[in-house]
Structure 1
Amino acid sequence: MFTLIYEFKLKPTSAQIAIFKEWLEQCRRVYNYALTERKDWVNSRKCPVNACSIKSEYIIPADKEAPKYNSQAVALTQAKKNIPELNQVHSQVLQQTLKRLQLAFEGMWKNGRGFPRYKKAGRMRSFVFPSMGVAPIQGKYVKLPKIGLVKFNQSRPIPDDAAIKQARVVRRASGWYVQLTWQWKVDVPQINSSGTSIGIDVGISHFAAVSNGRLFPNPKPFKQLESKLKSLQKKVANKRFGSNNRAKALLKVARLQERIANTRKNYHWELAHNLCDWADMIFAEQLNLKALARGFLAKHCLDAGWGQFLDILSQCCFKRGKYFQKVPASGTSQTCPKCLKETGKKKLRERVHKCQHCGYTANRDVAAAQVVEIRGRTAVGHTVGKLSEGKGSVLEDVKLCLPAKKESPAF
């Protein structure tokens, strides 16, 4: 099985927008009520056995099991008999809201994430249809269960040999979108680790340095629009809480934030396609992104979005049949790619690598990318002793280039 998600912009009518908003509000209430049940059960197990709290006490039987998805789904069915508003929403949509809460708790238990929080009004941004009816795509319309035909902008060709497994309606500052999950009954071939290779070193002064001597600039989308964002946020602070003017000001902030995110993501995709054009194997560093996001350069690291870029690069390599692998990042800037000897630590202001053993001189980031390439080829079983002669990555050959725009291949 092969699965892809296509996103299209919806063009709903005013009546359909009202339905979307009402469904999101009902999903938010179900989510918060289910979260309250779980929090009350947890708090009831924290109280001492020999004393009562001064404020309040949770009276829950000791033999009652912890609320989970199955028990809360049964309770939801009973609640729909007493709350007419819940009957207006598709039953599977409400069940998917409870599954979202269950996944949030599983992420807390397994991945060390924080305790799930309540969603304020407007914070619920999407709802899911886990199954679609017969012929969900009808021309320029998508048929959503219990809502009907909703017009959408077909920005890419619709595959004929795939089936729609689920649909997610998403609200953003720029409008409403639908994410369709398509599934093909095909066997995906295994990508072989052979052919030409390149290494990548990401940074702040330059977004990416490639082992072939190319440097890609850092667009810094947040830094470019930070002053404008600060101005809009000041206007929000000066508006009365709950007023229409405050809502309009918040919408402007949300649209600017979305513009920053789209600019960053578009740059990542263009750069990923450029890298796939240059080699059959691509190697990158295995970065500790959480630690970098807490350092003194946290704002610049988050603005660069290295985690998103590496995910996009992995997806792009998969779609275009290129081999992608991450290698350990420790000591890449302290190793000479020519003789593979340690050169000692470099300060951040030192942007040139000069080996005291063999005299090899190169841009610091390019030299680190060459070390990444050597480690990657060694990891996949290719014999690489040192940097080959005539690599074309000495300091004088470094070129600053911009990614060329290239559309993603259609499936």
Structure 2
Amino acid sequence: MAKQNKAYKFRMYPTDEQALVIRKTFGCVRFVYNRMLAERKETYENLKEDKEALKKAKHPTPAKYKKEFEWLKEVDSLALANAQLNLDKAYKAFFKGNAKFPKFKNKRHKQSYTTNVVNRNIQILGGHIKLPKLKMVKLKQHREIPSEHIIKSCTISMSSSGKYYISILTEYEKEIEIKNIQNVVGLDFAMNGLFVDSEGKKANYPKFFRQMLDKLAIEQRRLSRKKKGSSNWNKQRIRVAKLQEKVANQRKNFLLHHKSKELVTEFDAVVIEDLDMKGMSQALKFGKSVADNGWGMFTSFLHYKLKEQGKQLIKIDKWFPSTKTCSNCGSAKEIKLSERTYQCTCGLSLDRDVNSALNIKKEGIRWLATA
């Protein structure tokens, strides 16, 4: 039996006193992270020419600051310890060349902290969750966590509109049987509608952000006219944040509970191109379309849902000429963005996106045969 992880996210309703402790913990975690980063940055600058000395250099810990800043003792010590672990991960990713040098955090960053289970300090009890320093916090638990799932850690966060959430990470044992791949589908990313599959079906993704754009623009203009930091400015900021959250929730619901679930139920393997979404969003006129599309979130959902069932998500090279290649005879030709039909000398006349999806599927099958 292999150990698996699954997270459950719920809305929390802390009292005013509990909310104050939560926000204080956010601040303390950010403070400790920044202090440790400043010290490690200074060490790095002083010793970067001497790699051996840099490896042996001692790193600061949250305990070091508790002597100088007594108020750090008022919050969950495990939250501060996790800030150190997060910084360690960021540093390792930097030295491996997988990420940029860690940046300092400010209030505009995501407000969150993580705590761990130690001696049953975290428990779900009758519509409430017991948490370190907070005791019993009201919880809206819209789904049950299976009894065989063991709680490992919890991440408490606050949205920009002031709502509190908790993400509960659980561990359980499950033997995942690798499926014999029979049904394969290829997906061609579509700027207008998420994807077109190799069977000619379109995702018909509603443009949630575009639909909300006019209303959002009106509320943002109202916000810009108010004095920053005032009571009315803060009320208006929350109105804007709620609209943005609504769009995000609509997008997540469509991608997670509808499209990804449909594909995982029907197919044993899904083939996509390994696209650079950040680069595409920065391309001319594509920014809002890519942001509204949610392709990155969609592929993440696909990956973990397929993995849970012993199925596969296959990513082919982003430079694979799926658009230029004829899915019937395999010949290639240049095709303009304005050309919506792929026509080949072999007689093929097909929607360009469906043609691309068929090529992506074929490349995925070829990859499976050689893997």
Q: Deviations along 1:16-71, whole A, 9 cap, x unmatched?
A: 1111111111112212222222333445569xxxxxxxxxxxxxxx9996699963
In the TM superposition, what are the counterparts of 1:42-191 in structure 2 within 5 Å? 42-43=44-45, 71-73=59-61, 76-121=62-107, 123=109, 125-134=111-120, 136-172=123-159, 173=161, 175-191=163-179
Task: Indicate the SS of the match to 1:116.
Answer: coil
In the TM superposition, what are the counterparts of 1:369-380 in structure 2 within 5 Å? 369-380=357-368
* Corresponding pairs, count: 363
In 2, are the aligned partners of 1:2 and 1:187 still within 8 Å (CA)? no
Partner Cα separation in structure 1 for residue 68 and residue 226 of structure 2: 39
Q: 2:329 aligns with which of 339, 346, 364?
A: 339
Please state how far the C-alpha of 1:109 moved relative to its aligned partner.
Answer: 3.0
Please state how far the C-alpha of 1:12 moved relative to its aligned partner.
Answer: 1.4
Q: Which amino acid aligns with 1:268?
A: L
Partner Cα separation in structure 2 for residue 64 and residue 202 of structure 1: 47
Q: Compared with structure 1, are the counterparts of its residues 195 and 45 closer, same or farther at alpha carbon in structure 2 (3 Å cutoff)?
A: closer
Partner Cα separation in structure 1 for residue 60 and residue 335 of structure 2: 57
Answering whether residue 298 of structure 2 is matched by residue 309 of structure 1, we say yes
Q: 2:224 aligns with which of 223, 237, 242?
A: 237
In 2, are the aligned partners of 1:69 and 1:99 still within 8 Å (CA)? no
Task: Indicate the SS of the match to 1:118.
Answer: coil
Consecutive unaligned residues of structure 2, counting only runs of 5 or more, are none
Q: Compared with structure 1, are the counterparts of its residues 15 and 122 closer, same or farther at alpha carbon in structure 2 (3 Å cutoff)?
A: farther
Partner Cα separation in structure 1 for residue 183 and residue 241 of structure 2: 43
Partner Cα separation in structure 2 for residue 318 and residue 63 of structure 1: 40
Aligned to 1:202: 189
Q: Compared with structure 1, are the counterparts of its residues 171 and 272 closer, same or farther at alpha carbon in structure 2 (3 Å cutoff)?
A: same
In 2, are the aligned partners of 1:204 and 1:218 still within 8 Å (CA)? no
Q: Compared with structure 1, are the counterparts of its residues 23 and 362 closer, same or farther at alpha carbon in structure 2 (3 Å cutoff)?
A: same
Q: Compared with structure 1, are the counterparts of its residues 69 and 305 closer, same or farther at alpha carbon in structure 2 (3 Å cutoff)?
A: farther
Aligned to 1:228: 215
Aligned to 2:313: 324
Task: Indicate the SS of the match to 1:182.
Answer: strand
Whose helix fraction is larger, Structure 1's or Structure 2's? Answer: 2
Partner Cα separation in structure 1 for residue 196 and residue 202 of structure 2: 5
Aligned to 1:348: 337
Identity among equivalent pairs (%)? 28
Q: Deviations along 1:328-354, whole A, 9 cap, x unmatched?
A: 342111111111221x12111111111
Q: Which amino acid aligns with 1:226?
A: L
Aligned to 1:247: 234
Partner Cα separation in structure 2 for residue 289 and residue 69 of structure 1: 38
Where does structure 1 differ by over 6 angstroms across 4 or more consecutive aligned residues? 62-65, 67-70
In 2, are the aligned partners of 1:141 and 1:151 still within 8 Å (CA)? yes
Answering whether residue 249 of structure 2 is matched by residue 259 of structure 1, we say no
Q: Compared with structure 1, are the counterparts of its residues 180 and 215 closer, same or farther at alpha carbon in structure 2 (3 Å cutoff)?
A: same
Partner Cα separation in structure 2 for residue 290 and residue 11 of structure 1: 35
In 1, are the aligned partners of 2:316 and 2:364 still within 8 Å (CA)? yes
Q: Which amino acid aligns with 1:101?
A: L
Aligned to 1:35: 37
Q: Deviations along 1:345-398, whole A, 9 cap, x unmatched?
A: 211111111111x2112111111111111111121129xxxxxxxxxxxxxxxx
With the length of structure 2 as denominator, give the TM-score of the two structures. Answer: 0.89
Task: Indicate the SS of the match to 1:108.
Answer: helix
Partner Cα separation in structure 1 for residue 107 and residue 184 of structure 2: 50
With the length of structure 1 as denominator, give the TM-score of the two structures. Answer: 0.81
